[in-house]
Amino acid sequence: MASATIVLFSNTLRLADNAALLAAVVTRGPVIPVYIFDEQSPKVRPLGAASKWWLLQSLKALRDDLRRCGSDLIVRSGNTTDCIAKLVAEVGATGVFLTRGYTPAAAMSEQSLHEMLEKKNVQCRRFGGHLLLEPEMVRTKTDTKYTVFTPFWRTASELIDATEPQPAPKAIPAPEHWPTSEAIDSLGLEPKPAHWAEPIAAHWQPGEVAARERLADFLDGPVQSYKQARDFPATNATSSLSPHLAFGEISPRTLWFEAKKHMAANEAIVTGGAHFLRELGWREFSAHLLFNFPNMQSHPMREQFNKFPWGEGNSDLVHAWQKGQTGFPIIDAGMRQLWQTGWMHNRVRMIAASFLVKDLLWHWHEGEAWFWDTLVDADFANNIASWQWVAGCGADASPYFRIFNPTTQGEKFDKAGEYVRRFVPELAAMPDKYIHCPSSAPEDVLELAGVTLGETYPKPIIDRKKARAAALAALASIKN
């Protein structure tokens, strides 16, 4: 009987452009696709609630796609090395193929798996695919690690493999006997309470097929105006591919290749397409930073921020921020978009994050943890790097003294208040002039719009002038 190869699907929940799967199918006998739900390996950070919802749907989609190829998905839960050791013994596997992860926890888990398999004389092969480039490939001319985005991307974008990604295999050789699998529904991924994710489900379709459709839709339309429109949250001008990328339902190489192909065929999208590809560069940059500086998951990249006097103030303020009840409409709209859809527009992420760390002076860890729990696209590297960027303590960060003013940001990027009206319906009847600053509106305007501050909509939870002065004083304290 031909010996089986286990293909481990962890951060790569797809069949196309999955080098580990393709290598197993092409070069070996029977293939056993496996997913380990691992919350036990050292340093693994349990998924947030929104990511669990996504994973539940994504695993089912992957299983159905595998079944269409004559295969199946074996699901186990526990420590990855222990689970694979058991499976290897059960099926007599002679190889384990996997896609490489780049977080510190993934690196540790892969090391432990490799050592276990080596002892058993089982081949362990690791493939790339979650990133465009392996972190070891992108170094400065003097062989150091990049910490600034622009030179990083100048070098990295020249090194990208632009060849056509591999399609999904049409058939996957099955073993004579399948090992047992836990039910996907038994992994404890369902939201509690069950109806919690209903609004999220209305917005998203997890899975590889849906990811490809979303890319096609984006390249057929919004990409053309991406450069100008991407900062305006009321428009659907961005790709919304982030959760599909986070779960590896589509490869970044597919995005790269398809965008370039469309750009070559249609001059009108060249500028938008190039800008879109540059955003993928930020995803690479975050992953490369975390890989090279694993400490950044808990420590600021700029050492002086170790001494920053983060406030330990009123937790009611953080709750107001989480619930979208700050009295600053653009922030409230963003935080409610996050809660209702599991996603928030990038511009509003920046404004809302700035408010937490600079106006409320809360530690960026607090915001990072909330986003981790509530984002369907929660990505360890992107989330940490972005929070450090906003907090001013990251490698190539926005300077701390640059504090977003939520009112002027709202007026600039949501002029007519379309986004605010969508997510903060109690302000829907406010005139454009006051939609971003209801607390400045005259009494008669408020009355006409049916708004009673402090009752139907909160008064601003802080005095921004004082908050700004406190933030700048805090910054000065670490400079001295």
Ligand X SMILES: Cc1cc2nc3c(=O)[nH]c(=O)nc-3n(C[C@H](O)[C@H](O)[C@H](O)COP(=O)(O)OP(=O)(O)OC[C@H]3O[C@@H](n4cnc5c(N)ncnc54)[C@H](O)[C@@H]3O)c2cc1C
Element spanning 89, H or E = helix 80-91
Contact call for residue 253 and ligand X (CB under 6 A) = no
Q: Binders of ligand X among 298-357, rule CB under 6 A?
A: 346, 349-350, 353
Whether 158 is catalytic: no
Which one of the listed residues 204, 364, 372, 389 is annotated catalytic? Answer: 364
| Nearer of residues 168 and 397 to ligand X, judged by Cβ | 397
Handedness of CA 97, 83, 296, 12 (dihedral sign): positive
Strand partners, 96: 6, 124
| Nearer of residues 239 and 325 to ligand X, judged by Cβ | 239
Q: Which stretch binds ligand X (CB under 6 A): 241-249, 295-303, 309-317, 444-452?
A: 241-249
Contact call for residue 375 and ligand X (CB under 6 A) = yes
Extract the tokens encoding 335: 């935080």
Closest approach of ligand X to the CB of residue 384, in Å: 8
- Which long-range contacts (C-beta less than 8 Å, at least 24 apart) are formed by 141-149? 145/288, 145/292, 145/293, 146/285, 146/288, 147/289, 147/301, 147/395, 147/396, 148/395, 148/396, 149/281, 149/282, 149/285, 149/396
DSSP per position, 417-440: -HHHHHH-GGGTTS-GGGTT-GGG
**The tokens 């092969």 sit on which residue?**
125
Q: Which three-class secondary structure state does DSSP give residue 402?
A: coil
Whether 310 is catalytic: yes
Which one of the listed residues 310, 405, 411, 418 is annotated catalytic? Answer: 310
Q: Binders of ligand X among 346-365, rule CB under 6 A?
A: 346, 349-350, 353
What is the residue type of 304?
Q
Q: Which stretch binds ligand X (CB under 6 A): 13-21, 155-163, 372-380, 414-422?
A: 372-380
- Burial (Cβ within 10 Å: 0-12, 13-18, ≥19) of residue 473: exposed
Contact call for residue 28 and ligand X (CB under 6 A) = no
Contact call for residue 397 and ligand X (CB under 6 A) = no
Whether 178 is catalytic: no
Q: What does the DSSP 8-state code read for residue 294?
A: G
Whether 256 is catalytic: no
CA-wise closest residue to 298 among 11, 38, 42, 45: 45
| Nearer of residues 34 and 132 to ligand X, judged by Cβ | 132
Crossing angle (nearest 10°) for helices 329-341 and 346-354: 120
What is the residue type of 218?
F
Strand partners, 370: none
Find the binder of ligand X among 15, 280, 395, 470 (CB under 6 A): 280
Q: Which stretch binds ligand X (CB under 6 A): 30-38, 163-171, 310-318, 374-382?
A: 374-382
| Nearer of residues 103 and 382 to ligand X, judged by Cβ | 382
Contact call for residue 283 and ligand X (CB under 6 A) = yes
Contact call for residue 374 and ligand X (CB under 6 A) = no
Contact call for residue 103 and ligand X (CB under 6 A) = no
The whole-angstrom separation of Cα 417 and Cα 26 is 54
**What is the separation of C-alpha 329 from the centre of its chain, rounded to a whole number of angstroms?**
24
Contact call for residue 100 and ligand X (CB under 6 A) = no
Contact call for residue 259 and ligand X (CB under 6 A) = no
Strand partners, 218: none
Q: How many CB atoms lie within 10 A of CB 171?
A: 10
Find the binder of ligand X among 377, 395, 404, 467 (CB under 6 A): 377
Contact call for residue 471 and ligand X (CB under 6 A) = no
| Nearer of residues 254 and 383 to ligand X, judged by Cβ | 383
| Nearer of residues 350 and 435 to ligand X, judged by Cβ | 350
Site string for ligand X, 211-240 (x = CB under 6 A): -------------------x-------xxx
Which one of the listed residues 182, 190, 196, 279 is annotated catalytic? Answer: 279
The answer to whether the beta carbons of residues 439 and 459 sit under 8 Å apart is: yes
The whole-angstrom separation of Cα 297 and Cα 388 is 10
Whether 343 is catalytic: no
| Nearer of residues 127 and 247 to ligand X, judged by Cβ | 247
Find the binder of ligand X among 29, 44, 82, 282 (CB under 6 A): 282
Q: Which three-class secondary structure state does DSSP give residue 47?
A: coil
Whether 346 is catalytic: yes
- Tell me which residues are annotated as active site: 279, 282, 310, 346, 364, 387
Task: Return residues touching ligand X (CB under 6 A).
Answer: 230, 238-242, 245-246, 279-280, 282-283, 286, 346, 349-350, 353, 371, 375, 377-379, 382-383, 386-387, 390
